[in-house]
Structure 1
């Protein structure tokens, strides 16, 4: 990612509906350059333009779960969890837990059902629940726009 890519992501993170012409004007490049780079991001899966909402302001239950696996691989359990409609983020992790989940439920009854469904899944041995009470910041590409992390060269190696 170079400065133009970071600029595209920064602007789209604020408003994913920003026209390519406006992106090009703000970044001082051609519209074709913006279109090519956004298409490349989308095709590679590095970028997905979505609408994000704060589930708490809608009266929903937002939950984060840490899961420990037994008898099945974490990858097999994660694939099962990914198919659940209330789960919106599934990631394998290293450390004391095997899987990190984010979920949104319309109410407490649906949260209870989700927890029951997860606990009954083969391979799930322990579930830690974090119920969100207030959301101060959600998904952000801030780390890509500053000195956080490493810059990646065209060949894919860190500089």
Structure 2
């Protein structure tokens, strides 16, 4: 990736709905260049999708939590199991005390409890610690 790719990605991070013409004008290149770059970045898996960011106070009602996970044994089998868990919105590899960090999103506290129990029963999960999201100060 070169400087133009980085600038294109930065512009898309600010507003993924910008038309190609507006991106081209902002970056000082042709629309064809922007289209070709976007197609290549998608094809190479650099851009994997586009999303919507909601203001935390306007987001649909849901419980968000972060679960730190310690793994014993084969981490890849635990990762596969977690990626198949419907309550896991995102999964991150980390260093330090915990091996993985799972972002959980569920409808209510009962669903959170069921999700936590399912995750704790995954073979290879040796310990977990969960924190419930209360408020966002900067998003």
Identify the TM-score tier after normalising by the shorter chain: 0.7 to 0.9
1:80 shift after superposition: 0.5
Aligned to 1:92: 93
Q: What RMSD in Å do the two structures reach over aligned CA positions?
A: 1.8
Gaps of 5+ in 2: none
- Counting only pairs closer than 5 Å after superposition, residues 8-157 of structure 1 correspond to structure 2 as 8-47=8-47, 48-53=49-54, 57-70=59-72, 72-138=73-139
1:94 shift after superposition: 2.2
1:54 shift after superposition: 5.3
Aligned to 1:148: none
Structure 2 CA distance for partners of 1:106 and 1:55, relative to 1, 3 Å: farther
1:103 shift after superposition: 1.4
Partner-residue secondary structure (3-state), 1:52: coil
Give the TM-score normalised by structure 2. Answer: 0.88
Aligned to 1:143: none
Partner-residue secondary structure (3-state), 1:24: helix
Mapped partners of 1:89, 1:20: distance in 2 = 29
Mapped partners of 2:42, 2:54: distance in 1 = 21
1:16 shift after superposition: 1.3
Check the 8 A contact 1:75/1:92 in 2, yes or no: no
Aligned to 1:142: none
1:58 shift after superposition: 2.2
- Which portions of structure 1, spanning 4 or more consecutive aligned residues, are displaced by more than 3 angstroms? 52-57
Give the TM-score normalised by structure 1. Answer: 0.78
**Count of aligned residue pairs for this structure pair:** 137
Cα deviations by residue, 1:1-20 (Å, 9 ceiling, x for unpaired): 43322221122112212111
